[in-house]
Amino acid sequence: MDIKVLQTQQWLNSTYGSNPQFVRVDEDGLTGNGTVKGLIRGLQIELGESTIDGIFGNGTYTNFNNMFPNGLNETTDDSSENVKNIIYILQGGFYCRGINPETFNGFFGIQTSAAVREFQMQARNSSGCNRYS
């Protein structure tokens, strides 16, 4: 059991549990499909999507890019509850991925920025794109 994953699960349920389109996640501290889908459902709710299905498809990708054309970073205005919740989702997702963003506070600071770079490095290294160059 991972206490940070548990904290993420508890946050998801307390933040979105009253939304009829959200499926509560097990609070067991283990990352699984339910938790991953819960993170995506939370994101879909924050993006105002009509279909909340826990699948990160083209619609979610497009809606995210429309809301954040320059992506999320340290200069993102995080004064709205909506944006704070999206940053919580990002930070919780990192914990579930085994990357430590050092904080779970809905603020995109230098620790979250470092976690983004770690995730990007892991993605590049696992993609095989640069394996033979």
How many structural domains is the chain composed of?
1
Question: The whole model's pTM is what?
Answer: 0.90
| pLDDT for 131 beyond 80 | no
In a domain, 100, yes or no: yes
Q: From 35, 34, 42, 37, select the one nearest 55 (Cα to Cα).
A: 37
In a domain, 133, yes or no: no
Q: Is 132 among the domain residues?
A: no
Residue 55 lies in a domain: yes
- Quote the domain boundaries for residue 51: 3-127
Residues 39 and 53: beta-carbon distance below 8 Å: no
Q: Mean pLDDT throughout 40-61?
A: 96
Domain for residue 56, yes or no? yes
Amino acid identity of residue 26, one-letter, is D
Let me know if residue 115 belongs to a domain: yes
Q: What are the C-alpha distances in Å from 111 to residues 56, 107, 118, 121?
A: 25, 10, 11, 15
pLDDT tens-place string over residues 76-112: 888 899 999 999 999 999 999 999 999 999 999 999 9
Any idea what the Cα angle at residue 97 is, between residues 131 and 123, rounded to 5°? 20
For residue 130, pLDDT beyond 60: no
